[in-house]
Structure formats: C-alpha cells, structure tokens
Structure 1
Amino acid sequence: MASTTMGDVLPTGGRVFTSIPDLFFIPEFVFGGLVWMLVASTEVVHKNPMGWVMFVSIFCFVMTTVWFFIFLCGANRSSSWPTLDVGYHFVATVFYLGASVPLALITIVEGQTLPALALVPGFNSNLLYKIYKLHIAAVVMSYMATFIYFVHTIFSAFRWKRS
C-alpha cells in the first residue's frame, strides 16, 4: 500500500498550474492587482482607510508572487509548508475582508454625498463621478479577491488535512 509523501501533497514546477488550490494563484494576481490599480488611480486622502486597502492589496500581491515562485521553484518540500500555505491564505483572506468592508463603506458614503456636491456651482462633479465609479469597481474586485483567497484557504486546508 502506498503512503502519502510530501511529494504527493504539494505541487512543484508546472504542476502548480494544474492543482486545484494552487490554480487560484492566477485569479489572486488578477483581482488583487486590479484592486491595487483602481485604488491607486484615485487620490488617497489622509486619515482615509484607503491607505489600509493599498497596504493590503500591495502586501498580498507581493506575498502571493513570492509564494507562487516558491511553489514554482520547488522550495516547498518540508513538512511545514501545507500548514504555512493554509496560514498565509487565511491571513490574506482576513486582510482582504478587513480592507473590503471599509472600502465599501467609503464608496457608499461617496455615493450619498455626490448628489449634494453636484449642486454646488463651479464644482467638478464629473471627476467625483469618475472616482466614485473607480471605487465601485475596486469594491467589486476586492470582494472577488477576498472570495478567491477564501476558496484557496479552504482547499489548502483540505490538502493540509491529507498531509
């Protein structure tokens, strides 16, 4: 009877692109990068939670890149890697959820104050509507990134239990 070894649990090289939890690296890059770009394309006001959103999106993008290359290069051979994989993706999920909620709140407040600001004579409401639309897109991408990291965490936890 064959026993389960670490080689069977964590993929390396090209198998990263075919294994179920690790296949989510690509959508994590896409949605996380979009959050980063959409928030960065607007003005980040001081004392605004957008700074936290930027930190989370950049941190998770960089760490996911590092994590992806560790898996791709095959440096994930020790027995602690399944636990670290679940831990990292859980932290990324909590971070993204903690960034998505304030981002949605800011966007809701912007949407409620926009009609009143549009009535002010000489005020450039087109720019505010553009920023508002970018924030709506950032909220959607942020929640999608949260969901993708959550699904990756669940499948990584299943893999961790098998190891």
Structure 2
Amino acid sequence: MASTTVGDVLPTGGRVFTSIPDLFFIPEFVFGGLVWMLVASTEVVYKNPMGWVMFVSVFCFVMTTLWFFIFLCGANRSSSWPTMDVGYHFVATVFYLSASVPLACITVLQGQVLALVSGLNSDFLLEARKIYKLHIAAVVMSYLATLFYFMHTIFSAIRWKRS
C-alpha cells in the first residue's frame, strides 16, 4: 500500500496554477480586490457595517496573497498545512459571508430611499445613484468572493481528508 505524503497533496511552485483548490486563488484575488476597491471608492455613510466589509476585504486580500506566496515558494511542506489550508479558507468564507449580508442590506435600503426620492433631479441624487450602483457591484463581487472561498474550502477539505 502506497502512503500519501504531504508532497503529493499540497502543490508548490507552478503546480499551484494547475491544482483545483489552489486555482481558486486567482478569482479570490480578483473579486476580493474588487470588493475592496468598490467599497473604498464610495463615501462610507454606514460606518459599522461598511467598516466590517472593508476589514474583511483587506484582511482576506492580504492573507490570500501571503497564502498564495507560501504555496508558490514551497514553504508548505509540513504535515499541518492541509489542516491550516482548510481552516483559513473556512474562516475567510465565514468572514466574507458575514460582510456580504450587511452590504446587501445597506444596498437594498439605499435603493428604497432612492426610489422614494426618484422625482428629484439634483446633483446630490445623481451622486447617490452612482454610489448605489457601486454598492450593487460590490455586493455581487462580495458574494462571488464568498462562493470562491467556499469552493476552495470544500476542495481543500477533500484534499485534507486524502492526506
């Protein structure tokens, strides 16, 4: 019976770009970075929920970058890395889900307020509509980032079970 070693389970170097769970690093970068940029480009009126969204997007972007470079450089050789991989991506999934829901709620409330004052045609209203559209895009990107972190968690858990 052949034993499975960590070297067979976790990719290093260029193999990071060919293994299924680790291929999700790229969309996690893209969508997480877009959430960060879209929320940062608007005026933060609702400080607490939007602050949490900013924290989650920046934290996950930085940690995913570090995680990616650890895998790319081959520093993931110990037997605890598959467990830490599942743990990190699970935490990132929970964080993004906990940020996506309030962001969507704020966006829905903002849309309802804009619908009430839709008869007005002022510069303020035009700016508010622009911010509303940016928040809609941020909500979509946030849920896509949540989806990719979730898929990464599932495939990392399958890989962890094999190790």
Q: Find the aligned partners of 2:121 and 2:141 in 1 and give their Cα distance.
A: 34
1:55-94 maps to which residues of 2 (within 5 A)? Answer: 55-94=55-94
Please tell me whether the aligned partners of residues 34 and 141 of structure 1 are also in contact (alpha carbons under 8 angstroms). Answer: yes
Measured against aligned partners, the alpha-carbon deviations of 1:75-98 in whole angstroms (never above 9, x if no partner) come to: 000000000000000000000000
Partner of 2:11, secondary structure, is: coil
2:109 maps to: 109
CA offset at residue 45 of structure 1? 2.3
- The amino acid of 2:11's aligned partner reads P
- The amino acid of 1:139's aligned partner reads V
Please tell me whether the aligned partners of residues 117 and 123 of structure 1 are also in contact (alpha carbons under 8 angstroms). Answer: no
1:25–1:127 CA distance, 2 compared to 1 (3 A): same
State the TM-score, normalized to the length of structure 1.
Answer: 0.96
- The amino acid of 1:154's aligned partner reads I
Q: Find the aligned partners of 1:110 and 1:48 in 2 and give their Cα distance.
A: 16
- The amino acid of 1:65's aligned partner reads T
Please tell me whether the aligned partners of residues 42 and 131 of structure 1 are also in contact (alpha carbons under 8 angstroms). Answer: yes
Partner of 1:124, secondary structure, is: helix
Please tell me whether the aligned partners of residues 31 and 142 of structure 1 are also in contact (alpha carbons under 8 angstroms). Answer: yes
1:52 maps to: 52
1:126–1:88 CA distance, 2 compared to 1 (3 A): same
Matched, 1:34 2:34: yes
Partner of 1:49, secondary structure, is: helix
Measured against aligned partners, the alpha-carbon deviations of 1:108-150 in whole angstroms (never above 9, x if no partner) come to: 0000001333445756211000000000000000000000000
State the TM-score, normalized to the length of structure 2.
Answer: 0.96
- The amino acid of 2:83's aligned partner reads T
2:129 maps to: 129
1:99 maps to: 99
2:161 maps to: 161
Unaligned stretches of 5+ in structure 1?
A: none
Matched, 1:149 2:146: no
CA offset at residue 44 of structure 1? 1.2
Q: Find the aligned partners of 1:121 and 1:10 in 2 and give their Cα distance.
A: 57
Please tell me whether the aligned partners of residues 25 and 64 of structure 1 are also in contact (alpha carbons under 8 angstroms). Answer: yes
